């Protein structure tokens, strides 16, 4: 679903199964979409890849039982990602208000890219990817290095086995 500038609500008829074989869903440039339907988690049981780009009013991505790969790009009001029991990869770019990642089992890889962030997000403390890649400004990297091991910034990612911070 691409370039639907007036789409604000995704209605899903209660109790009506739909899209049981859907494996990949890309939602792009739907600036008025404010939420994903509950039916998506209950009926799109084969959904493995979910990409959400420029859904400017979207505040949460939750309760998606089968999603393995989640990509959220340029969603300025996204605040919460939760209840993904089977993630493998999570990619987050330019979601500055994302505060909460919770109820995620350990997963393979996370990429965070935001050239505007001044500190690493606090939610890093609560997640367990095997590999973390952070793309940020050089100033943030220098801040992390200057504060050193044991600092509050360092503690956000020190539990992650393989971490890279790049510009």
Q: What is the pTM of this model?
A: 0.90
Region 144-167: mean pLDDT is 87
Nearest CA-CA partner of 61 in 82, 88, 31: 82
Say if CB 31 and CB 5 are below 8 A apart: yes
Number of H helices, E strands in the chain: 3, 10
Q: Which of 6-15, 61-70, 132-141, 142-151 has the lowest mean pLDDT?
A: 6-15
Q: Which residue has the higher pLDDT, 1 or 153?
A: 153
Region 6-25: mean pLDDT is 73
For residue 6, is pLDDT > 80?
no
Q: Which of 7-16, 52-61, 99-108, 136-145 has the lowest mean pLDDT?
A: 7-16
**pLDDT class of 12 with cuts at 50, 70, 90:** low
Say if CB 55 and CB 49 are below 8 A apart: no
Nearest CA-CA partner of 52 in 74, 21, 34: 74
Give the pLDDT of residue 41: 78
Instruction: Dump pLDDT digits (tens) for 17-52.
Output: 677 888 999 999 999 989 888 778 778 889 999 999
Nearest CA-CA partner of 67 in 34, 92, 90: 90
Nearest CA-CA partner of 72 in 152, 14, 84: 84
User: What is the Cα–Cα distance from 97 to 109, expressed in whole angstroms?
Assistant: 21
Instruction: Dump pLDDT digits (tens) for 51-108.
Output: 999 999 999 999 998 999 999 999 999 999 999 999 999 999 999 999 999 999 999 9
With 0-12 / 13-18 / 19 or more C-beta atoms within 10 angstroms meaning exposed / middle / buried, residue 141 is middle
**pLDDT class of 116 with cuts at 50, 70, 90:** very high
| Residue labelled with tokens 């979910």 | 50
- Complete DSSP assignment for 87-110: -SEEEEES-TT--EEEEE--EEEE
Per the structure block, which two tokens stand in for 87? 């993630």
């Amino acid at each position: 679903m691409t370039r639907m500038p007036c789409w604000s609500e995704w209605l899903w008829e209660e109790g009506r199964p739909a899209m049981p074989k859907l494996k990949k869903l890309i939602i792009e440039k739907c600036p008025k979409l404010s939420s994903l339907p509950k039916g998506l988690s209950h009926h799109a049981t084969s959904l493995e890849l979910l990409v959400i780009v420029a859904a400017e009013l979207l505040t949460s991505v939750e309760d998606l039982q089968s999603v393995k790969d989640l990509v959220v790009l340029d969603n300025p009001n996204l605040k919460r990602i939760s209840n993904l029991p089977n993630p493998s990869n999570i990619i987050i770019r330019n979601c500055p208000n994302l505060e909460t990642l919770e109820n995620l089992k350990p997963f393979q890889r996370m990429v965070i890219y935001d050239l505007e962030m001044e500190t690493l997000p606090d939610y890093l403390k609560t997640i367990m990817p095997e590999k973390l890649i952070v793309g940020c400004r050089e100033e943030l990297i220098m801040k992390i290095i200057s504060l050193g091991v044991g600092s509050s910034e360092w503690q956000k990612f020190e539990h992650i086995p393989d971490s890279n911070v790049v510009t």
